[in-house]
Amino acid sequence: MVRRAGALALVIAASTTACSSSTNAGPQKAAATPVAAVNLSVYPLDGATKLPPEAPVYVAVANGELASVTLEAAGKPVAGRYSADRSKWRPSRPLLPGTAYEVTARLLDGTVKTSHFSTVKAKKTFAIQHIVPDKQETGLTVGVGMPIMVTFDQDVADRVSVERNLIVQASKPVEGAWHWFDNRNVSFRPKNYWPAYTKVKFMARLSGVRGADGMYAAKDYAREFKIGRSQISVANTDTHHMRIRRNGKFIRDVPISAGRGGEWKYYTTNGIHLAMSREPVTIMTSPGIGPGSPGYYQETVYNTVRISNSGEYVHSAPWSVGSQGNSNVSHGCVNVSPENARWFIDNTLIGDPIIVKGTPRNLEPTNGWGHWQENWKEWLKWSRLRAADTDPLSSK
């Protein structure tokens, strides 16, 4: 509430005059409202040294307005932002370790205040070792189920600071969240599949970000990719058919033969798989069995699409064509005819969902890219910042 002190003083003065004797001489003057002092604060204080890079930097003025604020690191400007009323300023990024800074604040009345300070050197640095999608492994046009997967080269203890600086922008708004699988691996996926034909930009603004005690990131990273058309395949091990829909429309029915069961390892895993690779030729060997042992095999297989890390593929199987569409005889893979295998590998994007139904053995969330095996509530348990909409796509 704004107090109108002058007006209130006039009302009181008028009331007093009406009730007093006629000996009062003339009207009373209102008391002048005191002017609040302008107070400019700059932090860190001038001369401060060995500050942690995550130390706050701010400029604030009471009863005034900032004309300009500059922050420089070794002569290079550091970006920052003002509050709506231009009474406060903060840098947009964390400080860098082992760096000298100068901040200069100017008010509209000409007041100037400067502070010189420096940060402590990092004991250790960390970096991103791998980002998926990438141009070589997946291509930069991917399926609607594709997660963003980040692997660090050191264990990250301060997950909050790191996750806060992992930014996902999209041309269509998407609700999503990061999920830590361990101290080095964090992935982002939407609550639901990506909308088809979405453009996505991932930015890791990590330079100067704390990853652990005394450990800071040395650089930023960026990756742009596109979501292609929506293609979702559903393989039913009871009906022995895989039905494929593209952009919601049914386009192909593929007879299949899935895992024969009997032993647990011979069941095809149930659940939402993703296409992980497309391989013209794959050498398959029996899991856990060496040469000379009963049941050992080594087979050259063509036109394969990997769907897990436990050796499961959709692949050409000319030897089981007679069983495809009527019975399950494989060691766990999804067998299809040579013609259908050629079509499938040519028409599949990495990150396309391939859903298997009808078996008792579930795909584990950590088996390959089993990210969609966790429901949204389970996924959020391993996020430090929980769900948020993606930022609008920008060119920066």
Pairing verdict, β 80-82 and 249-255: unpaired
For residue 270, the 8-state DSSP code is B
Given the structure tokens 């604030």, which residue do they identify? 60
330 CB-near residues (< 8 Å, 6+ apart): 257, 258, 259, 260, 266, 268, 317, 320
Rounded CA-CA distance 328/262 in Å is 11
Question: 3-class DSSP state for residue 379?
Answer: helix
**Residues acting as catalytic residues:** 315, 333
What would the two tokens of residue 363 be? 């795909």
Q: Pairing relation of β-strands 249-255 and 241-246?
A: antiparallel
| Amino acid in position 274 | L
Q: Nearest-CA neighbor of 48 among 112, 95, 93?
A: 95
Using only C-alpha atoms, the chain has a radius of gyration, in whole angstroms, of 32
What is the DSSP annotation of 30-57? PPPPPPPPPEEEEESPTTEEEE-TTS--
Residue showing tokens 């593209």: 246
Of the candidates 284, 308, 138, which has an alpha carbon nearest to the alpha carbon of residue 235?
308
